[in-house]
Chain A
Amino acid sequence: MSDLPVTAEAAALARPSAAGNLFRHARYVLAGNPVTAFSFLLLLFLIACAAFGPSLVPYDPQVSNSLRTLQPPSAQHLFGTDQLGRDILSRVVVACRLDLGIAFFSVALVFAVGGLAGVAAGFFGGWTDRIVGRLADTIMAFPLFVLAMGVVAALGNTVTNIVIATAVVNFPLYARIARAEALVRRNAGYVQAARLTGNGELRILLSTILPNILPIMAVQMSLTMGYAILNAAGLSFIGLGVRPPTPEWGIMVAEGASFIVSGEWWVALFPGLALMLAVFCFNLLGDGLRDIVDPQRRT
């Protein structure tokens, strides 16, 4: 119980609208948390790379040049060149779109499917809960990366299937979080009130419960994005999913790994760094988002 004389009125005077309110709040959190601000900048940078990278890079990422193989970083090739003489900088930047794309679509897919299934399980209980719960348990019973490998191997070696595989392994996480949050809210006063005002159960689920757990799910999305990128890169690393010569961080690290012993460290290092940076960015972002949506911090 707050015993402070900070009345709601006083607080509300400074907050004209919902959107302005969220913006103000985000700015406050960012000001107090430079790490999150940094991760936001990093995200903007990554998005810019994904959007404009292919038209900005100095070299064609797919064209090999046998005269310039395995050159160390120089003014001409900032990240050096690989065993086929391709510019690593160009490849790293161009790969951004594919890696972020895979991660984004797989997270969006699992958010829609897993989130809805979880909310329904928590809200309706009974058989819905049992089916969703056992499905999640079954998926959890596998080593997740091995399961993802199996899915890609079974469905075929395409980018779409990497998206599906990554979504499948994340399903239990989303379903469980959504279920737990829906369970808490199932008998909240405002849900009962919605029943009284004539809302059917399905409408309550979609228009009352779901919007209230979206912020929590959004945090989870950011945290899972990093994992999804790693997963996609990992699958490519072992030869599933994206195929060479398509530039992709996982393949590039895999290709470069064999050159590390012979001293050509840059071939594996730069795509690895890019991968690390992206995962790092999404994890930091998730922490920051959690602070932004956490009502406890909205004083």
Chain B
Amino acid sequence: MSASPLLDVRELTVEFATRRGTVCAVERVDLSIAKGETLAVVGESGSGKSVTSYAVMRILDRAGRITGGSVTFSGMALQSLPEVEMRDLRGREISMIFQNPRAALNPIRQVGRQIEDVLLQHGQATRTDAKARAIAVLEAVRIARPEERYHAYPFQLSGGMCQRIVIALALACRPQLLIADEPTTGLDVTTQKSVMELVTELTRKRGMSTLLITHDLGLAASYCDRVVVMEKGRVVETAAAGAIFRAPSHPYTRRLMRATPRPGAGLRDLLPEGAAPFPAAPPTGAPLLKVEGLVKEYRREGGAGFMARLTGHAASQAPFRAVNGIGFEVRRGESVGLVGESGCGKSTTSMMVMRLLDSTAGHITFDGEDIGAIPAQRFAASPLRRRIQMVFQDPTDSLNPRHTAARAISDPIRRLGTLRGSALAARVEELATLVGLPLPLLDRFPHQLSGGQKARVGIARAIALNPDLVVLDEPTAALDVSVQAVVLNLLHELKLRLGMSYLFVSHDLNVVRLLCDRVIVMRAGRIVEEGPVETVLENPAADYTRELLAAIPHPPA
């Protein structure tokens, strides 16, 4: 490390004024970044990692205040710099990229113009050469056909491309420090790989420093020089990336590493204390769900304009096939993983299996009955409804904000079951105990529960009627790794105890490896590979599966 770091944060304390008094979000945090260094700040939600970066940029929201410590950026004390000078510094010397690239771009302005705006704002270009400069910047972030893309609007670009544009915006003025706040959350693994490689390559080429804020230890390990681990507003460990994974010194870091799904670790290995091993899984039984030739088509809305319809061209345009003739089987007591990147049709497939969406063609046979023939609208009244249930991706979004946890869990029983009154209440308590939700929490509303608790409510609701098949739609995607570890273990335990089958929809191969017996890899509406989970993940037959596996960042084992 050089003698005077580019960014030096000393004893930084940030407090937020809330109605229940002052909350200390960041407490005496020390970190420093040398010139050309890439530093990762790792922590779970609530660790204060984002707040730290906001404090550096001085973009805390109204309630937040820096109450102590110093932030020194190439010799300047940022915490006492006048706002006017700070504004000039942001974007020119320190740039930031955010989690949701689409939200960071102006939706009604061409991306090239947006880059020009930044260049002009900071006097990096003149009116005459702005366009050429903007195209050069687009080229630098490896946007193919930059002259064409210059005129594109954000909605015409994919998520990964939008993030490249945001990076282009951030790097347009050649800043010395780039702060990247979860820049690849919400992107596919292969896109994540290319975006992160772009960032590291650009920073290396330009001698920039990067502060990467992430919850993903693997990402931090793969792309950063040093790692700072934060917990509850404090820095618990700072070390070189290699060293921290080889010999984590703080118990929290060890816990975090333990909870991260990785090759070679079983479900129980993720939990902090040695839990009893799972009983042996019973052999899988007869086929429960059989999907044959399933197709879902969507009409192309955008392409067929008024003129096209007028001239009869609309009819000639083929509809978009989100799911293109797939077939698979789920046996009794089996977990099948449905894996693929966004847009591959895995969610559409699960929605059709759940009978929330009508298929265009094909058969969905559940326990001998063709449920695909029952319209989704009328499936609520079908006796089969209670036998197919689902755990949703976002535990917050899938709970009615006006219903208590008890009400949410009892809803399926009220509608489809027979229990009433005290028997119903007893069943709800039994379910809560089964999923490990403390009974006093049953009277709470979703906003009074933590993410993990909400996930438990969602699982309890799904298993309330002892279904035969549960579709798990990325049930842990919105959770912290330590919570994810607990929830995955819970799901597996429940499966063994209740003899359910799982259709597990996920983009995370490491999680699929833990929970599933078989895995189906989908791409562009088709199945590219299918087989036992070990075979597919250890010796993938399809190039695409190999590509997916290679893109996952792993902490050095």
- Given A197-B411, A200-B380, are A11 and B25 also a contact pair (CB < 8 Å)? no
**Complex interface: chain B residues within 8 A of A201 (CB):** 377, 380
**Complex interface: chain B residues within 8 A of A195 (CB):** 356, 380
For the complex, give the distance between the alpha carbons of A114 and B322 in Å.
38
- Given A18-B445, A197-B412, are A7 and B390 also a contact pair (CB < 8 Å)? no
**Complex interface: chain B residues within 8 A of A17 (CB):** 443
Inter-subunit contact A3/B356 (CB<8 Å): no
Question: B406-449: which have CB < 8 Å to A?
Answer: 408, 411-412, 414-416, 443-445, 447-449
- Given A3-B45, A299-B18, are A192 and B380 also a contact pair (CB < 8 Å)? no
- Given A194-B411, A196-B356, are A5 and B398 also a contact pair (CB < 8 Å)? no
Q: Is B51 an interface residue (CB 8 A)?
A: yes
- Given A189-B392, A201-B377, A212-B402, are A6 and B356 also a contact pair (CB < 8 Å)? no
Interface pick from B251-259, B286-294, B381-389, B527-535? B381-389
Inter-subunit contact A4/B51 (CB<8 Å): yes
Q: Is B354 an interface residue (CB 8 A)?
A: yes
**Complex interface: chain B residues within 8 A of A2 (CB):** 45-46
**Complex interface: chain A residues within 8 A of B23 (CB):** 4-6
For the complex, give the distance between the alpha carbons of A190 and B46 in Å.
25
Q: Is B20 an interface residue (CB 8 A)?
A: yes
Inter-subunit contact B18/A198 (CB<8 Å): no
- Given A193-B399, A198-B416, are A5 and B18 also a contact pair (CB < 8 Å)? no
Partner of B48, one of A1, A3, A189: A3
Inter-subunit contact A198/B46 (CB<8 Å): no
Partner of B461, one of A197, A200, A299: A197
For the complex, give the distance between the alpha carbons of A194 and B356 in Å.
11
Question: Nearest residue in B to A298 (C-beta to C-beta)?
Answer: B447
For the complex, give the distance between the alpha carbons of A198 and B418 in Å.
13
For the complex, give the distance between the alpha carbons of A147 and B49 in Å.
58
Question: B259-306: which have CB < 8 Å to A?
Answer: none
For the complex, give the distance between the alpha carbons of A27 and B20 in Å.
13
**Complex interface: chain B residues within 8 A of A160 (CB):** none
For the complex, give the distance between the alpha carbons of A82 and B218 in Å.
84
Count class of interface residues, chain B:
35 or more
Q: Is B159 an interface residue (CB 8 A)?
A: no
Partner of A7, one of B46, B397, B444: B46
Q: Is B476 an interface residue (CB 8 A)?
A: no
Q: Is A62 an interface residue (CB 8 A)?
A: no
Q: Is A12 an interface residue (CB 8 A)?
A: yes
Partner of A4, one of B16, B385, B397: B16
Question: B360-400: which have CB < 8 Å to A?
Answer: 377, 380-381, 385-386, 389-390, 392-394, 397-400
Question: B57-99: which have CB < 8 Å to A?
Answer: 99
**Complex interface: chain A residues within 8 A of B443 (CB):** 17
From residue B451, how far is it (CB to closest CB) to chain A in Å? 8
**Complex interface: chain A residues within 8 A of B453 (CB):** 8
- Given A7-B450, A197-B461, are A211 and B402 also a contact pair (CB < 8 Å)? yes
Question: B8-56: which have CB < 8 Å to A?
Answer: 16, 18-20, 23-25, 45-51
Inter-subunit contact B448/A8 (CB<8 Å): yes
Interface 1/0 per residue, B444-467 and A, CB below 8 Å: 110111100100001001100000
Question: Nearest residue in A to B412 (C-beta to C-beta)?
Answer: A197
Inter-subunit contact A192/B411 (CB<8 Å): no
**Complex interface: chain B residues within 8 A of A10 (CB):** 20
From residue B401, how far is it (CB to closest CB) to chain A in Å? 7
Q: Is B154 an interface residue (CB 8 A)?
A: no
**Complex interface: chain B residues within 8 A of A190 (CB):** 397-401
- Of the listed residues A3, A6, A7, A195, the one surrounded by the most CB atoms of chain B closer than 10 A to its CB is A3
Inter-subunit contact B412/A196 (CB<8 Å): yes
Q: Is B555 an interface residue (CB 8 A)?
A: no
From residue A110, how far is it (CB to closest CB) to chain B in Å? 23
For the complex, give the distance between the alpha carbons of A38 and B385 in Å.
53
**Complex interface: chain B residues within 8 A of A12 (CB):** 444, 448-449
Partner of A197, one of B45, B397, B415: B415
- Given A3-B48, A11-B448, are A212 and B380 also a contact pair (CB < 8 Å)? no
Q: Is B142 an interface residue (CB 8 A)?
A: no
From residue B209, how far is it (CB to closest CB) to chain A in Å? 22
Partner of B392, one of A1, A192, A200: A192
Q: Is A28 an interface residue (CB 8 A)?
A: yes
- Given A193-B461, A198-B412, A199-B380, are A5 and B400 also a contact pair (CB < 8 Å)? no
Q: Is B345 an interface residue (CB 8 A)?
A: no
Q: Is B233 an interface residue (CB 8 A)?
A: yes
For the complex, give the distance between the alpha carbons of A211 and B445 in Å.
14
Inter-subunit contact A3/B51 (CB<8 Å): yes
Inter-subunit contact B390/A196 (CB<8 Å): yes
For the complex, give the distance between the alpha carbons of A2 and B49 in Å.
11
For the complex, give the distance between the alpha carbons of A198 and B388 in Å.
11
From residue A6, how far is it (CB to closest CB) to chain B in Å? 5
Q: Is B131 an interface residue (CB 8 A)?
A: no
**Complex interface: chain B residues within 8 A of A196 (CB):** 354, 356, 385, 389-390, 412, 462
For the complex, give the distance between the alpha carbons of A189 and B445 in Å.
16
Question: Nearest residue in A to B397 (C-beta to C-beta)?
Answer: A189
A-B pairs, 6 with minimum CB distance: A189-B398, A189-B397, A12-B448, A198-B415, A197-B412, A198-B416
- Sampled A-B contacts (19; CB under 8 Å): A1-B45, A2-B45, A3-B25, A5-B24, A5-B48, A5-B233, A6-B18, A12-B444, A28-B19, A188-B397, A190-B397, A193-B458, A196-B385, A196-B389, A196-B390, A198-B386, A201-B377, A212-B401, A299-B19
Given A4-B25, A193-B399, 18 new contacts (CB under 8 A): A3-B45, A5-B46, A5-B48, A6-B20, A6-B23, A10-B20, A12-B448, A189-B392, A189-B397, A190-B399, A192-B356, A193-B392, A193-B398, A194-B400, A196-B385, A197-B415, A198-B385, A298-B447
